[in-house]
Structures are given as structure tokens and as C-alpha cells.
């Protein structure tokens, strides 16, 4: 099924054979030259996270095994915000579970701040904070005690921790709820508690699986700003999200996965280059011309969304064809507003995910 809006079913004609675009980030390295031309010593500051050929399979009775993670390799540099994107079931949570020592890899390896996740899980755990996908606040503890207990696990306690907790509760709008048990809070507030805990400690690496689920937009903004601050301080952040604009706004680097495999990786600009030739068209008519939805669907758009009198369509087309289309649509009715722009990350995501599936959008 298509995941994009608009309810139009179609098949993509972009490519029949799956391709694997790969725009890897250049690792940050410092290179020093010694004694003339002959000796070159390369000093590489190790990345915060290193993942090599990671595989995780799940056995299922009387069915083929699931390759939830299927040979992923990537690095995350210190102080970077790294986004793991992909459709439902792509393997994002499984990857995070392995990196946070909650699951063992079937093969391959991964390390956090130089410590192997399978061989030295305790060393890894000391260095990470995790917000898992399901809400997991300690239900019988008050909001304040949730924060303090979490900090104590990491050796942060006493007046400094209490003071920090008060500040964070203020920041997260939790101060009025400080003494209430987590179980008595609404789902969104429980999520706040869970995310707020991350800011009680200064672990060098943080993982957030769909952190914004259930958060209202105001809090979400505040958390995003806070994450940026933490990254500026040098904390490394790995997050997954289904809200692509969040990744677009936050992430220094994005890895798009599908069926456990990398389908693209790079910063936003690099990913946009992968989808050169994708255009977004938005037209508002005074009255929606009859049959326009079917007509546009016949062009096999990456995305088609009609709301009121506004048509939004993303197409992979030659520029001149796009302009011709705008002209043709202009003949069909009175156009109040027209906008043509390059691809958004959402279009790229849909296009690459479809491409990896062999061109079928069904
Ligand atoms: N414990 C498990 N046992 C069997 N299969 C599992 C298990 N955990 C995950 N899987 C399977 O592995 C695949 C990847 O799941 P995963 O939860 O990593 O996806 P995801 O990318 O996080 O998806 P979502 O966007 O829905 O959160 C799915 O096919 C899922 O059914
Ligand atoms: Mg998940």
C-alpha cells in the first residue's frame, strides 16, 4: 500500500531494477605529514558510533526468517544528529535495540564510543541514554522521582540532581505534575517524562526512537531546540522519526533504510541530489477542474494530494515537461496561486523507498 497522502494508487515507473544510491559522508579526519614525502601518519578521531555489516534475523515458525537488519554499515561522528528513517518494519527499532545492547546482533559488529555493544554491554550502557518507542516511565513513581531515579542510575544524585530535575520539569511543563504518579498522567505527558529523563544525565550518546510521538507541537519545538543544544555541546544523537520534516530540520546526516538495508545515506543536500529531477507543484484553483485527480494520477506521480481547491503533486519529470504541465493545468481553470519547487525530503523518501522495492508502489 502507498503510504503517501492523497489516496491515489499507482505504480512508479522510475526504475524496474532496484538501485542502491549511496552518498556516504566523508569521515572527519585529521592528517599529519611527517619527515618529507615518505611518511604519512593519519590520525583519525574515532567516530562516536561505528556499525559494520550489522545483521539481525528473527526466526519464525514454519516461515522464512525475517532479516530485520540486513548488512547495515555506518558511522556517526561525535556531536552529530543522525536520523534513521524508513517505512514501518524497516528495521529502525531493531537497529537501535542492538546499538543500545537490548538485543544481540546475529552477525556484524557495532561499537559506541569505542566499546563493542555485544562484548562490553555495560561499558556501552554507561555512555548512552535511550528513549524507546513504547512509553516507559516508571508508572508508580512520581514525575520528580522518575527523573531522580533515572539520574541515580548514572551516578548523578544529591542537591545537584534535585536542582537539575526542577529546571527540567519547568522546561518540559511538568512542574505542576511533579508529585503526580506517572500512571495518572496523560499519554503525552508520560512521553514528556520519558524524554525529560534524557536531560538529567550527560551521557555522550543519546538514542531516541520516535521521540515526538504524542507530543504537542509546542513541546516538540522545545525538545528539538534542546536536542540541537545538546549536539552543540558535543553529544551524539541518533533518532528515528516518521515525521520527515523533523529529520529535515534536525539531522546532520540521514540514513534511509528499507527491509533492513540501506537505500540512501547522506546529508540533506546529498539526498536531494539523489532525487534531482523531482519537482513539487502546488496549484490553487478558484474551482477544482473535474477529472483532474485521475489525469494527474495517470502521470504516475510520487505524491498526489488534493485538498479543497488545491492540488499538490510531486513528479519526476524533465523541467520543460513540468512547465508544460503548469501551463496545461492553467488552461483548465482559473488558477489563483501556483508554486513549483524542488523535491522535499518526503518526496525523496517515497521515491527511494519505491525504487528499492523494484519500482512498485503497491
Ligand atoms: N522480537 C521480534 N521477533 C520477530 N520479529 C521481529 C522482532 N522484532 C522485530 N521484528 C521484525 O523485524 C522487522 C523490523 O522491525 P522494527 O521494529 O525494527 O521496524 P521499525 O523500522 O522500527 O518499524 P516502525 O516504523 O513500525 O517502528 C519487522 O518485520 C518486525 O516484524
Ligand atoms: Mg520502530
Residue pair 171/178 in contact (Cβ under 8 Å)? The answer is: no
Same domain, 303 and 159: no
- Is 83 near ligand 1, meaning CB less than 6 Å away? no
Dig out the grid coordinates for 98 from the structure.
542492538
Distance 10 CA to ligand 2 centre (A): 26
- Is 89 near ligand 1, meaning CB less than 6 Å away? yes
Percent of the chain with pLDDT over 90: 51
Mean pLDDT across 60-66: 87
- Domain of residue 334 covers 276-356
Is 107 inside any structural domain?
yes
Residue 16's pLDDT band, with cuts at 50, 70 and 90, is very low
Same domain, 146 and 290: no
DSSP tally for the chain: helices H, then strands E: 11, 16
Same domain, 131 and 229: yes
- Is 100 near ligand 1, meaning CB less than 6 Å away? no
Is 243 inside any structural domain?
yes
- Is 93 near ligand 1, meaning CB less than 6 Å away? yes
Is 261 inside any structural domain?
yes
Mean pLDDT across 111-128: 96
Distance 256 CA to ligand 1 centre (A): 15
Same domain, 173 and 225: yes
Nearest CA to ligand 1 atom 10: 68
| pLDDT for 134 | 67
CATH number of the domain that residue 338 is part of: 3.30.70
Residue pair 2/8 in contact (Cβ under 8 Å)? The answer is: yes
Residue ending a domain, among 272, 307, 338, is: 272
Same domain, 236 and 302: no
| pLDDT for 264 | 87
Cell 592528517, residue located: 31
Q: What is the DSSP letter of 28?
A: P
The preferred substitution site among 61, 90, 208 for testing ligand 1, maximizing ligand atoms within 8 Å of CB, is 90
Which ligand places an atom closest to the C-alpha of 87? 1
CATH number of the domain that residue 231 is part of: 3.40.50.300
Residue 361's pLDDT band, with cuts at 50, 70 and 90, is very low
SS3 288: coil
Same domain, 71 and 185: yes
Is 26 inside any structural domain?
no
The preferred substitution site among 1, 58, 243, 255 for testing ligand 1, maximizing ligand atoms within 8 Å of CB, is 58
78-108 exposure pattern, b = at least 16 Cβ within 10 A, e = fewer: bbbbbbbbbbeebbbbbbbbbbbbebebbeb
Distance 240 CA to ligand 2 centre (A): 8
**Planar angle of CA 67, 70, 75, nearest 5 degrees:** 145
Nearest CA to ligand 1 atom 29: 89
pLDDT tens, residue by residue, 270-297: 777 776 778 889 999 999 999 999 999 9
Residue 127's pLDDT band, with cuts at 50, 70 and 90, is very high
| pLDDT for 135 | 59
Same domain, 248 and 322: no
Atom of ligand 1 nearest to the CA of 257: 21
Phi and psi for 200 in degrees, rounded to 5?
-80, -20
Nearest CA to ligand 1 atom 31: 89
Which ligand places an atom closest to the C-alpha of 89? 1
- Is 58 near ligand 1, meaning CB less than 6 Å away? yes
Same domain, 186 and 136: yes
Is 22 inside any structural domain?
no
| pLDDT for 136 | 62
Same domain, 176 and 64: yes
For the purposes of burial, counting CB atoms within 10 Å of the CB of 353, is it exposed (0-12), middle (13-18) or buried (19 or more)? buried
Residue ending a domain, among 210, 244, 272, is: 272
Residue pair 205/51 in contact (Cβ under 8 Å)? The answer is: no
Atom of ligand 1 nearest to the CA of 87: 25
Distance 331 CA to ligand 1 centre (A): 48
205 half-sphere exposure, CB direction, 13 A CA radius:
24
Same domain, 74 and 210: yes
CA–CA dist 282, 95 (Å, integer):
37
122 half-sphere exposure, CB direction, 13 A CA radius:
1
Nearest CA to ligand 1 atom 18: 91
Is 35 inside any structural domain?
no
Distance 159 CA to ligand 2 centre (A): 37
Within 10 Å of residue 25's Cβ, how many Cβ atoms? 20
Q: What is the DSSP letter of 177?
A: G
Phi and psi for 310 in degrees, rounded to 5?
-105, 130
Residue ending a domain, among 272, 288, 305, is: 272
Same domain, 109 and 188: yes
Indicate the average pLDDT of the chain: 83
Is 39 inside any structural domain?
no
Cβ neighbors of 224 (< 8 A, separation 6 or more) are: 246, 249, 250
Cell 578521531, residue located: 45
Is 24 inside any structural domain?
no
User: Number of folded domains in the chain?
Assistant: 2
Q: Which is more confidently placed, 43 or 134?
A: 134
Distances (CA, A) of 253 to 66, 116, 228, 265, 318: 27, 23, 13, 7, 28
- Is 258 near ligand 1, meaning CB less than 6 Å away? no
Which regions of 35-106 does DSSP assign to beta strands (E)? 39-43, 49-60, 63-76, 81-85
Same domain, 251 and 297: no
Amino acid at each position: 500500500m502507498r503510504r503517501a497522502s492523497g489516496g491515489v494508487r499507482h505504480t512508479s515507473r522510475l526504475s524496474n531494477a532496484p538501485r542502491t544510491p549511496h552518498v556516504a559522508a566523508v569521515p572527519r579526519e585529521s592528517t599529519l605529514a611527517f619527515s618529507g614525502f615518505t611518511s604519512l601518519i593519519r590520525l583519525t578521531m574515532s567516530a562516536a558510533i561505528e556499525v559494520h555489516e550489522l545483521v539481525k534475523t528473527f526466526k519464525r515458525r514454519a516461515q522464512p526468517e525475517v532479516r530485520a537488519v540486513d548488512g547495515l554499515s555506518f558511522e556517526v561522528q561525535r556531536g552529530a544528529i543522525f536520523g534513521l528513517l524508513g517505512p514501518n518494519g524497516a528495521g529502525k527499532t531493531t537497529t537501535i535495540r542492538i546499538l543500545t545492547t537490548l538485543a544481540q546482533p546475529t552477525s556484524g559488529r557495532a561499537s559506541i564510543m569505542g566499546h563493542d555493544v555485544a562484548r562490553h554491554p555495560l561499558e556501552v550502557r554507561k555512555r548512552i541514554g535511550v528513549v524507546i518507542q513504547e512509553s516507559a516511565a516508571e508508572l508508580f513513581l512520581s514525575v520528580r522521582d522518575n527523573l531522580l531515579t533515572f539520574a541515580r542510575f548514572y551516578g548523578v544524585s544529591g542537591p545537584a540532581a534535585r536542582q537539575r530535575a526542577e529546571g527540567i520539569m519547568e522546561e518540559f511543563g511538568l512542574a505542576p505534575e511533579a508529585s503526580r504518579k506517572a500512571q495518572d498522567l496523560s499519554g503525552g505527558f508520560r512521553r514528556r517524562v520519558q524524554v525529560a529523563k534524557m536531560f538529567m544525565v550527560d551521557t555522550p550518546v543519546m538514542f531516541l526512537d520516535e521521540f515526538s510521538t504524542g507530543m504537542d507541537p509546542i513541546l516538540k519545538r522545545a525538545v528539538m531546540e534542546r536536542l540541537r543544544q545538546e549536539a552543540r555541546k558535543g553529544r551524539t544523537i541518533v533518532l528515528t522519526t516518521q515525521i520527515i520534516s523533523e529529520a529535515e530540520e534536525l539531522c546532520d546526516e540521514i540514513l534511509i533504510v528499507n527491509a533492513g538495508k540501506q537505500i540512501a545515506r547522506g546529508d540533506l543536500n546529498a539526498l536531494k541530489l539523489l532525487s534531482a529531477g523531482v519537482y513539487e507543484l502546488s496549484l490553487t484553483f478558484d474551482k477544482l477542474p473535474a477529472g483532474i485527480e485521475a489525469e494527474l494520477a495517470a502521470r504516475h506521480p510520487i505524491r498526489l494530494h488534493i485538498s479543497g481547491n488545491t492540488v499538490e503533486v510531486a513528479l519526476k519529470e524533465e523541467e520543460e515537461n513540468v512547465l508544460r504541465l503548469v501551463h496545461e493545468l492553467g488552461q483548465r481553470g482559473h488558477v489563483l496561486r501556483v508554486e513549483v519547487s524542488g523535491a522535499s525530503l518526503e518526496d525523496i523518501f517515497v521515491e527511494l523507498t519505491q525504487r528499492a522495492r523494484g519500482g512498485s508502489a503497491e
